[in-house]
């Protein structure tokens, strides 16, 4: 059984007990993660293809460690111009081990909801963030005369009274 799954923006063909190096994940070492963007699952000759992902399918994995990849040297040169640039790069990676592939029955991970912040509305800050057209519409609603010839600062002053 194998699956093609999207992990950190890249697609990987994975099988059970396989170790894979992926772009750095935020989770801690030793934790388990579930990837629900499964594009294809093959099980004993049965191939299931998603459009774009298979609903309810998932791949569970354990994070083994965080590391850096091999150094890549980038050397640029323009001959006879005295131009040379040498640059290096090491990609941050995470090593994961695939623990299981399930074709159905995996619930989507709920997105973390942020607690609603206490909203403190101040008219001056609220009005200054609006466009001139929005301010003119507010002035028309409040019944202010001569709003068409006013500038933004004058509109804010008239509306804040």
Alpha carbons 52 and 38: distance in angstroms, whole number: 8
What tokens does 136 get?
Answer: 């003119």
| CB 41 within 8 Å of CB 103 | yes
How far is C-alpha 84 from the geometric centre of its chain's CA atoms?
A: 36
Coil, strand or helix at 9 = coil
> For position 73, what pLDDT does the model report?
98
What tokens does 143 get?
Answer: 């019944």
Alpha carbons 79 and 130: distance in angstroms, whole number: 54
> For position 121, what pLDDT does the model report?
47
| CB 135 within 8 Å of CB 158 | no
More confident call, 118 vs 38: 38
**Over the stretch 70-124, which tens digit does the pLDDT of each residue have?**
999 999 999 999 999 999 999 999 999 999 999 887 776 655 556 555 554 444 5
**Over the stretch 44-75, which tens digit does the pLDDT of each residue have?**
999 999 999 999 999 999 999 999 999 999 99
> For position 37, what pLDDT does the model report?
95
> What average pLDDT does range 130-134 have in this prediction?
86
State yes or no: pLDDT of 125 exceeds 70.
no
Whole-number Cα distances in Å, 159 to 23, 134, 141, 154: 52, 12, 10, 9
Alpha carbons 8 and 61: distance in angstroms, whole number: 13
Classify residue 70 as exposed, middle or buried by CB count within 10 Å of its CB (0-12, 13-18, 19+). exposed
> For position 111, what pLDDT does the model report?
54
- Kindly report the number of other CB atoms within 10 A of residue 68's CB atom: 11
DSSP 57: -
């Amino acid at each position: 059984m194998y699956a093609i799954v999207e992990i950190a923006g890249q697609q990987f063909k994975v099988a059970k007990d396989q170790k894979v190096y992926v772009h750095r994940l935020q989770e801690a070492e030793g934790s388990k993660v579930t990837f629900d963007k499964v594009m294809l699952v093959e099980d004993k000759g049965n191939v299931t293809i998603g459009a774009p992902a298979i609903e309810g399918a998932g791949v569970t994995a354990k994070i083994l460690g965080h590391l850096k990849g091999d150094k890549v040297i980038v050397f640029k040169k323009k001959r006879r111009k005295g131009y040379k640039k040498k640059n290096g790069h090491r990609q941050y990676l995470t090593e994961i081990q695939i623990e299981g592939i399930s074709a159905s029955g995996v619930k989507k991970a709920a997105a973390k909801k942020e607690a609603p912040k206490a909203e403190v509305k101040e008219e001056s800050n609220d009005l200054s963030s609006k466009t001139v057209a929005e301010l003119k519409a507010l002035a028309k609603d409040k019944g202010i005369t001569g709003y068409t010839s006013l500038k933004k600062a004058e509109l804010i002053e008239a509306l804040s009274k």
